[in-house]
Structure 1
Amino acid sequence: MVQKRKYSAILIGSALIVQIITACSASPANTASTGTPAATGTSGNKADAAPTGEKITLRVMDWADSEKPYREKFIKDFEAKYPNIKIEYTLMSVDQFQNTITTAIKSGDAPDLFPIPGNMSLSMAVKGEWYQPLDAYLDDAFKNQFIDGVFVEGSTVLNGKVYSIPALSSVPSTLVYYNKQLFRDAGLNPDNPPKTYTEFREAAKKITEAGKGKAYGIIEGGKQIGRWKLAAMDWSALGGSGLNQQSPISLATHDANYDSKAVVDVMNLFKGMKDDGSFHPKTMSISAPEARALFGEGQAGFILQGEWSIGVWKRDNPNLDFGVMMPPVPDDGQKGYLPKSTIGAWIGMSKTSKHPKEAALYLKEYFSKEYQSVLVKAGDRFSILKDVNESSSEIPQFKQYYDIVQKSSRLIPNPQIRNPELTSVYGNYKDVQPGVGDILQGVVSGAIKDPTAPLKQYSDLVNKSLDTAIAKAKSEGAKVDKNDFVFSNWSPDKNYTEQDYKSIK
C-alpha cells in the first residue's frame, strides 16, 4: 500500500515503511461509498479554504499500489470538489520510486507531494533540501486528529518543525499468508499452520510436490531488495538478533551482528527452500505486487506481505481461501519478538513546490476520517487517525493480522527520540552495499552458496560506517555518542515506553 505502505524513519529503512514500504487495498463494495472527504482545517489555517483562481496542476507521486482504486476515487472526488485543482498522480514500485525521485529532485522537477524513500532518513532528506515544513499550512485542529506518536522529534519532526506525515500505523509487514486450499491439497491442516523453521520448510515442499508445476510452496517479489531485507531482519529478531529498522546495530549485542546465528539461520531456511525447489520459478524476476497477484491466483502456498494485501485479494480474488500466520521461529524456540518501530515519516511537501496551499489541502482531505475509514474497511491499512481502526475494521483476516501483531511484536526504542541530535549521525551515515537484503536475495537466486562470509563483511562495514558517521557528526558540533544506540533497559519481550526513555541511564 502506500504502505502500502508500508511503510521507519532511519538510515537503514524507514518505515515505513516501510511500513513502507508498502501498499494496500480495499473492497469493491467500499469503492463506491468513498464519497467526498470533507476538509478539516480550522482556526485561520492557511489551507482552510479551497484555493480559487487560475487552474493549477498538483503533482503527487508514491508507491501505494494496493490503494490504487481508492486513490482514483479520492482524486476524482477531490477534483470535483476543487475544480481549479488538477491532480497528476504517478504510481510506481518502491524501487522505481527511489531512482526516479532522486533524479527528479536533482533536475529541479520534483512533484509537489512525495514520500521519503525507504533507504533514506528524514534528516537526510531535509538536509538535502527535499522538503519544506508543513506547520504554516496544517494547524493544531488537523494534527489533533492523529493518535499519539505521529508527530515526534527525530521521526516526523525536526527541530520542532513537522516535515512529514506517516502513511499508516506501524506494524510489522513480514507476517505470512497461506493458501488454505493448497494446504488441503498437500495433506496439511489449514487450522494448524507451521510454527518452526523445519515445519515451514516441509510444508512448502509438500505444497510444491502436490502442485505438480501449477503451484509452489512460496513466492516473493524477488526484485525488491527491501522485502528481502525486512524478512532477514524481522525473522531473525524472533531468533534473538535484536536487529531492527531504527538502528544500524543490534539492540541485543550493541553492534552490527548481521552474521549472528539468528540471521544465518534465516538465510539457511530460505536456502533450504530454494534447494527444495519450493520457490515459485518467477520469484526472482517479479515485484512484490506481481508476487501478490500470483499468490491470489493460487500459484503459491506462502507469501510474506503486510496487511495491505488483504484488501487487494478481497477485491481481486474474492474466492481465495487464505489465512494469516505468525512467521515461523527457530526449531530451538522463540528468543525475541518482531520489532515494531515508532511511526515514521512518509509523505512530505517538496521544498520547491509552487502550490503549497493546494498541496496542504490535498493532505487534509487525504487524512480525513472519511477517506481513511474507506482504507481500513477495505483492508488496506491500520490508520493513524484516532478511533478509525476500531470503528472501521470489518474483514476477518484484517482483524486476525492485527491480533497476531499484538501477540508477536513489541515496540522498540528509537535512538533519535532519545537524542534528536542523532539526526546528524543519520545524515552522515553511508549505507553499506551489498546489504543484508542483497545477500538474502543472492542466497535465494543461487548466486551465494554460503551467506556467512558476506554477512561478516557486511557487519564489519556497518560498524565502521556508523563510527565514521558519529565522528563526522561530532566534528560538526553534534553531541552524540555510540552509547546513544545502546538501551540498557530494553527487554525484547516488552514494549519500550515513554517512561523507559526517561529512566534510561
Structure 2
Amino acid sequence: MIKKAMLLGMNLMLILALVACGGGGSKTSNEPKESTTNDKNEGKTTAAPVQLQYWTDDRHDQEYIKEMVTRFNETNEDNIQVELTVMSENYTQSVDIAFSSNQAPDILRLKSANTEAFFKKGYLQPIDCYLTDDMKAKFSSVIIDGVNRFDGQIYSLPNTGLTLRLVYNKDLFDKAGITNPPATLQEMVDAAKKITEVGKSEGIYGFALNFKNPKQAFDRSVREILSLSGYQGLGFDLKTGQFDFAPYAQVIEYFKQMHEDGSILPGAESLDIDPLRAQFAAGKIGMYLSFSTEPGVYQDQFPTEMNWAGALAPTLDGQKGTSEIVSAGTWLGMSKTSQHQDAAWKFMQFMYADDVLTAYHEKGFGISVVPSIAETAKTPDVKGMEGFLIGEKDSLWPVAPNVTPEGANYADAFFKYMLDGGDVQKTVEDLNQRYNDALAKAVEKGEVKVTPNPSFDPANPQGK
C-alpha cells in the first residue's frame, strides 16, 4: 500500500509539473500528429508539423528575423514550423482582437510599452519553468520587476535596449559655426536659432520632432533630457512615489522658446517620424532626439550622404543622472492560450541563443543589454552607431507606474502650452492632481504597487 501511495504521489507531482509549463491540462500535446498521407518514397506515414504563429511590429529587423525563422524551420528536429507576421501599425489592437476571438499567436513581440498591459489582460504565459540554470545566470542581471517580471514570475528575457540620443547634422553645425553638439538646453536653443538663421532661405531649420503624436515626440526627447538631468523621465518622482511634472515643465520652456524663435521646422505639428527622418536625410533639419534605431534607418530606409552623428542629450543644468536605456528587458513572449507552448519555447530558446543575439547586435538592429553578448560582440558596422552605444552614462532605471488620468495626458497638455502659451504652473498643478488621483485609484485596486525610495540616486538608478 505504501509503495502504491508513493507511486501515485510521484505521478501527481509529474502531472502538476507538466501543467505548470503548459504541457498538460486542456492544451493539446506538442507532439506532431500523424497525417493520413503516406510518404511515396518511404511508404511511411509522415507527421504533420506543429504550426506556430509569431507576431511582431518591428520592421527595422524583419529581414534578419525572417532569415532566423527560416533557419529554425529548416533545422529544428521537432517538426515545428513558425510563420512570421510583421504588422506595420495597430499591433496592440490586433493582439487584443486576436485574443478576444481565440485566434491569438503563439509567440508575441513584447516591448516596455505593451508588456504590462498584456500581462494584466492575461495574454502571457510565464516561462520560469523552462529556464535552465545557465539561462538564469546569463540574464539575471538585466531582469527587472515591472518590465519582464511580474508578481515574481518571468514573462520575457532581454535582448537589446534602446539608447536615446541627440541626432544632429554635422554639416549644418559647421555651416552655422557650431563646434560641438549642445550640452545644455540653452545651448540647444541657441544652436537651433543659428542653424535656422543660416539655412532658412534653403528651407533648413534647427530643430524638429514628430509632433503629430506629442507623447511619442516627448517620450523620445524630454524623457532622456530629464533622466540625464537627474529626474525620472515620465514625470514620476521615485523618491516620493508621486507624480511631479515641475521638472518636465522646465524642459518644455526651452522647447517653447525654439517654437517662438521660429527654429522648429514649419508643419511639425502634423509631422510623423518617417517624414521627419526623410527631411533630416535631405539635410533640412539641424537636430532632433530619437532612439538607437536611427543608424539602421539611415542605412536602409532613408540612405543619406550627409555627415551626421549621435550625442548624449543636453541637460537642464549639467549631468546629474544617467541616460535611461528604454525598451530593455523584453523581447519574445509566449501566449497563455497557445496550444503548443513547449514548441513555442523551443523557438524562443533558439532565438535567445548566443549566435542569434550576437548577430542581432553586430548587424545594428539593436544594442545588446545582455552582459555576455555586449562584452564579446563586435561594434555594429553601421554608420553613426558609435554615438548610440551603451557607455558609462547609460543605465536601466526603475519602472514608473503606468496610469491613465482623466482628461489630457501630460504630453498633450504640455504641447498645448508650448504652442499656445498660458500658465505653466497651473498646467503642472493640474497634471499632478489628475495623475496622482489616478495613481491612488490604481493602488487601491491593486493594479499598481508604489514604494517611495527617499534615497534614490539618479546617478546609480538600479542601486547597485
TM-score (norm: length of structure 1): 0.72
Query: For the aligned residues, what is the CA RMSD?
Result: 3.5
- Could you tell me whether the CA contact under 8 Å between 1:131 and 1:349 is conserved in 2? yes
Per-residue deviation, residues 31-52 of structure 1 (Å, max 9, x unmatched):
xxxxxxxxxxxxx998xx9978
Report if aligned partners of 1:219, 1:295 keep a CA contact under 8 Å in 2.
no
- Pair 273,320 (structure 1): closer, same or farther in 2 beyond 3 Å: same
Secondary structure class of the residue paired with 1:301: strand
Aligned to 1:312: 297
The counterpart of 2:64, out of the listed 60, 70, 74, is 70
Match of 1:255 in 2: 242
Which residue in 1 is equivalent to 2:350?
365
CA distance in 2, matches of 1:197, 1:243: 17
Q: How does 1:231-380 map to 2 (within 5 A)?
A: 231-240=221-230, 242-244=231-233, 249-252=236-239, 254-258=241-245, 260=246, 262-281=247-266, 283-316=268-301, 317=303, 319-330=305-316, 332-339=317-324, 343-380=328-365
Partner of 1:100: helix, strand, or coil?
helix
1:205 aligns with 2:205: no
**Displacement of 1:297:** 3.3
Report whether the alignment pairs 1:196 with 2:184: yes
1:379/1:398 contact within 8 Å kept: yes
Tell me what 2:94 maps to: 100
Match of residue 15 from structure 1? none
Aligned-residue offset at 1:313: 2.1
Matched, 1:163 2:150: no
Q: What is the letter of the counterpart of residue 62 of structure 1? A: T
Identify which of 66, 72, 81 aligns with 2:75: 81
Please give the alpha-carbon distance, in whole angstroms, between the structure 1 residues aligned to 2:348 and 2:271.
Answer: 32
The 1:60/1:232 distance shift into structure 2, 3 A limit, reads same
Larger CA Rg, structure 1 vs 2: 2
Deviation (angstroms), 1:205:
2.4
Task: Give the distance between the partners of 2:70 and 2:248, measured in 1 at CA.
Answer: 46
The residue correspondences of 1:42-57 to structure 2 (distance < 5 A) are: 53-57=47-51
> 1:411 touches 1:494 (CA, 8 Å); kept in 2?
no
Q: Residues 374 and 208 (structure 1 numbering): CA distance in 2 closer, same or farther, change over 3 Å?
A: farther
Identity within the alignment, %: 23
Q: Give the total of aligned pairs.
A: 418
Gaps of 5+ in 1: 1-43, 416-425, 499-505
Q: 1:56 to 1:70 in 2, by over 3 A?
A: same
Q: Which digits, 9 at most, give the CA deviation of each residue in 1:148-168, with x for residues without a partner?
A: 323345442334432122341
Query: How far did 1:414 drift?
Result: 5.4
Instruction: Give the C-alpha shift of residue 267 in structure 1.
Output: 0.8
Q: CA deviation at 1:302?
A: 0.9
- Cα distance 1:278–1:97, how it changes in 2: closer, same or farther (>3 A)? farther
| 2:441 paired residue among 452, 468, 477 | 468
- Mapped partners of 2:60, 2:207: distance in 1: 21
Name the residue aligned to 1:109.
103
Report the CA distance shift for 1:342/1:104 in structure 2 as closer, same or farther (over 3 A).
closer
> Is 1:63–1:92's contact at 8 Å kept on the other side of the alignment?
yes
In the TM superposition, structure 1's runs of 4+ consecutive aligned residues that sit over 6 Å from their partners are 49-52
| CA gap 1:468/1:372 in 2 versus in 1, 3 angstroms | same
Could you say if the C-alpha distance between residues 71 and 355 of structure 1 is closer, same or farther in structure 2, counting changes exceeding 3 Å? same
2:455 matches 1:489: yes
The corresponding residue for 2:86 is 90
Secondary structure of residue in 2 paired with 1:269: helix
Query: Which amino acid in the other structure matches residue 453 of structure 1?
Result: K
Q: How does 1:117-128 map to 2 (within 5 A)?
A: 118-119=112-113, 122=116, 124-128=117-121
Counterparts in 2 of 1:289 and 1:451: CA distance versus 1, 3 Å: farther
Alignment correspondent of 1:177: 167
Offset at residue 235 of structure 1 (A): 1.7
Q: Deviations over 1:10-46 (max 9, x none)?
A: xxxxxxxxxxxxxxxxxxxxxxxxxxxxxxxxxx998
Q: Which ranges in structure 2 are unaligned for 5 or more consecutive residues?
A: 1-20, 24-29, 34-46
Q: Letter of the 1:100 partner, please give it.
A: S
Task: Please give the secondary structure, in 1, of the residue aligned with 2:392.
Answer: helix
Q: Residue 432 and residue 125 in structure 1: after superposition, are their counterparts in 2 closer, same or farther (change >3 A)?
A: farther
Q: Which amino acid aligns with 2:427?
A: P
2: CA distance between counterparts of 1:50 and 1:205? 65
What do residues 225-273 of structure 1 show as CA deviations (whole Å, max 9, x unaligned)?
A: 2342343333234444x3245xx73035543111x1x322211211222
| Amino acid in the other structure paired with 2:455 | N
Deviations 1:171-205 (A, max 9, x none): 5x43101111122233322xx12222222112222
Question: C-alpha separation between the residues in 2 aligned to 1:358 and 1:285?
Answer: 44
Q: C-alpha distance in 2, partners of 1:175/1:243? A: 16
The answer (yes or no) to whether the contact 1:310–1:397 under 8 Å persists in 2 is yes
Counterpart residue type for residue 98 of structure 2: A
Cα distance in 1 between the residues matched to 2:257 and 2:455: 37
Whether the aligned pair in 2 keeps the contact of 1:244 and 1:250 (CA below 8 Å) is no
Q: What corresponds to 2:426 in structure 1?
A: 453
State the SS of the aligned residue for 1:392. Answer: coil
